Amino acid sequence: MGETLPAIARVDAGEVAAMLGVPKRTIQTMAQRGEIPAAKVGRRWTFSRARIQDWITERENKNLCRSLPKSEIKHKRQKTASFAEKFGGQKLLSVASATERAYAQLMHGKLKDA
């Protein structure tokens, strides 16, 4: 009966906002939308310090993609296009075959009659 829960380093929205340099309301909105890892206890949003640090690192890693060489970005787009096709999406025009691009241009009136 005398068991206690392990202490988990939790912080409130104000502390997360200060860490990220954004308004507290932004953090609360992100938590409501599920955009940031959070738990609501009563009327108050709480955040695990470790999960927030992991979330920040994950977002920083996603932003590194912007600095990749074009060859690696093209490869990433091709993988995304094949994934979209496999699961019912449309293939991106940027990685479509020459025939598919010509057809798309013809359908949009951008190709002159041959």
Cβ partners under 8 Å of residue 38, min gap 6: 30, 31, 45, 46, 47
- With CA atoms as reference, report the closest residue to 81 among 72, 71, 90: 90
Label residue 93 by pLDDT band (50, 70, 90): very low
Domains of the chain as residue ranges with CATH: 10-64 (1.10.10.10), 70-107 (no CATH)
| pLDDT tens column, 36-74 | 999 998 999 999 999 999 999 988 887 776 665 665 555
| pLDDT tens column, 12-39 | 999 999 989 999 999 999 999 999 999 9
pTM of the model: 0.51
Q: How do beta strands 39-41 and 44-48 pair?
A: antiparallel
Could you list the beta-strand ranges (E) of 37-114: 39-41, 44-48
Residue-level pLDDT at 60: 85
Decide: 51 and 10 in contact? Cβ < 8 Å. Answer: no
- With CA atoms as reference, report the closest residue to 77 among 94, 63, 64, 90: 94
